[in-house]
Structure 1
């Protein structure tokens, strides 16, 4: 009996000196969850900083580009106008990060319209901020598109065309946003951009009058197709040439519409313009897809990795699949431009005259 008591007391003493810690599965799970939350918070914080940085840099570039187009020296905008544009950009970025992007976009559009009637310069700040946020948000959507080849190959329940649309919908949205917004900027702010696009507009007008620009189906198609092809090739330069061409063509359309009677312009532009401008927007999206393909391939280069060959091969495969999407868009572009060229050469003038006569 005494021996048992002594043994128990020794065990108690040992346990007190060296307590046995038993971790439950729940405790381990909680620790893992906390660690994952910390990592996710860090990633989210870094992505927010990058989002702020991207929108700010875009605002500076866009505002500087507009100043250059209107022959305004950078020193004249750097003291007040550019800081205000950056401020409105940061406010909109914060609203977007907090989950209020849609309502904040609507507010910015409404404010832009109201301020345009009071002072167009103030409205321009809001428009630039809106463009910067929409571009950055679209690029983010492109990169994290769950339907793309990087994340999923399971499209068994969808048609081929629907699969294609799901993969390139954000590229199309980005191209559409750039074209439409700069078309509107060209229309409502013609003095800002006329020195940039007026020589092109005058050259086109003189070409038609002199006969150097033939209003025939084949020449019109070749001219428009070369523009679209250059936009796609621009994707190999990380879409810099694509973006410039998209913006420039939008400004040409916007400034041209501003210098003419709107009814006359629409009557002689809409019949073929619907197909032609749609093709240009798709060409912009195709250029963005080319850039994404190249970046995907280069991102597969891993120097400090055991299976770097396998990883690179996988990225090359995904990059080639992305280029297949470009081929699909190219076919659509060709069809649209053939239709546009035929209408412009044979139907636009009669349709325009009919529409103008009905209006009068």
Structure 2
């Protein structure tokens, strides 16, 4: 991949990470009633139920949901000059940070990693790469506006954009397969 694409991947990664930190900090003073049972003990079930209810278990639901996110990250950036991509990366990071903090609060980081890691190895890079795609076209337009290149969008730029989108779709497809099978079995064993 080109050097500029690597920069965009770094920016996407950074935004997802910053969003995760924001999610953790937003969660500091937040404890839901479902988290603490009637005996005053912390309960891990809300985390499992939030992430793995019956509706969210099928491959098609998971894939279509994540495909929407990837397409919004990729093409939303083109339509809003990177604004939707920026916002979506931050919001997805916030969700991840909240899940992490909930697990930390519940004293069960093992459950967090068992429920996120198997499919997250593919899903998170897929979203980061989709974010890089969403920043690609605005970045190239900005370079043109600053007279750092002669054409607004070259054929090579378009190919790079669609390559990034394709890679992210393949990654979330693999992630959906893993989430609907392996992660599901792990979640069932934790109940």
TM-score bin, normalised by smaller chain: 0.7 to 0.9
Q: Are residues 1:246 and 2:89 paired?
A: yes
> Is the 1:299–1:315 contact (alpha carbons within 8 Å) kept by the matching residues of 2?
no
Q: Deviations over 1:23-44 (max 9, x none)?
A: xxxxxxxxxxxxxxxxxxxxxx
What root-mean-square deviation, in Å, do the aligned CA atoms of Structure 1 and Structure 2 show? 2.9
- Structure number with larger C-alpha Rg: 1
**Structure with more helix by fraction:** 1
Correspondent of 2:129 among 254, 268, 282: 282
Correspondent of 2:160 among 321, 325, 334: 325
2:173 corresponding residue in structure 1:
338
> Is the 2:141–2:153 contact (alpha carbons within 8 Å) kept by the matching residues of 1?
no
After superposition, where does 1:205-284 map in structure 2 within 5 Å? 209=53, 211=54, 213-236=55-78, 237-260=80-103, 261-284=108-131
Consecutive unaligned residues in structure 2, runs of 5 or more: 32-45
Q: Are residues 1:295 and 2:150 paired?
A: no
Correspondent of 2:152 among 316, 319, 332: 316
> Is the 2:23–2:95 contact (alpha carbons within 8 Å) kept by the matching residues of 1?
yes
Count of aligned residue pairs for this structure pair: 169
Counterpart Cα distance in 1 of 2:152 and 2:132: 21
Compute the displacement of 1:248 (Å).
0.5
Secondary structure in 2 matching 1:181: helix
TM-score normalized by the length of structure 1: 0.42
Compute the displacement of 1:325 (Å).
1.0
Higher relative contact order (Cα pairs below 8 Å, separated by 6+ residues): 2
> Is the 2:123–2:172 contact (alpha carbons within 8 Å) kept by the matching residues of 1?
yes
